[in-house]
Each structure stands twice: as structure tokens, then as C-alpha cells.
Amino acid sequence: MTTLTFPTVATQIAQDTQDAYSADRYGVIEWTHAADLCLRRGMTPAQVNAVLRSKHMRYAADVSIDPENPTADDLGRFMANYPLHFTTPALNALVEGTEA
């Protein structure tokens, strides 16, 4: 079992984004772990919110070992394989897109 590094913040972001397109696909536990993963990688809460609401979550799930049950680890692999989508400028653009 993975221990959350930022339990309160990750849990709040996960709850705030339960209406995101891919949230149901990941389930509450993995969705929260995905928020925590992003925080541990240095993203701001606004950037994490934007990532969870982005198409990247769907793409990470689509290339998962088990696409019907994606995990935070799948998001981590997706981030490693497509690092240009997760640079500070790219993340800030996602945030701007969610604020519109």
C-alpha cells in the first residue's frame, strides 16, 4: 500500500476533481494517489488540479498495463515518457486553460 506524502492536500484535490473526465476510471484511491504523485513531483495544487482534469489522465490510462484499471503508477510512467507535457510552462498553460 502506498503512503500518501501530502494526504490532506492530495485528498482535497482528488475530491475537488471527482467530476473530471477520467476520475471514475481511476477510482477514488488511485485518483488520490495520482494527486499525491504530482505533488511529490513538485507541482503546485493548481497544476495538479489541471493535470487531473486534463487529457493526460486519459492518455495515461489508455497506455496502462490494465487500461480498465489505471493507477497512479501509470500516470508516473506517462510523465516519464512524455516529459515535455509536464514542464513548468506546459503545466502553467494547463492551469490557464482550466481557469478560462
Domain ranges of the chain: 7-99
Distance between CA 21 and CA 84 in Å, rounded? 22
pLDDT in tens, the chain (100 residues): 566 666 799 999 999 999 999 999 999 999 999 999 999 999 999 999 999 999 999 999 999 999 999 999 999 999 999 999 999 999 999 999 877 5
If we measure between CA atoms, which residue out of 27, 12, 20, 8 comes closest to residue 72?
27
Contact 98, 53 (CB under 8 A): yes
What is the value of pTM for the model shown?
0.91
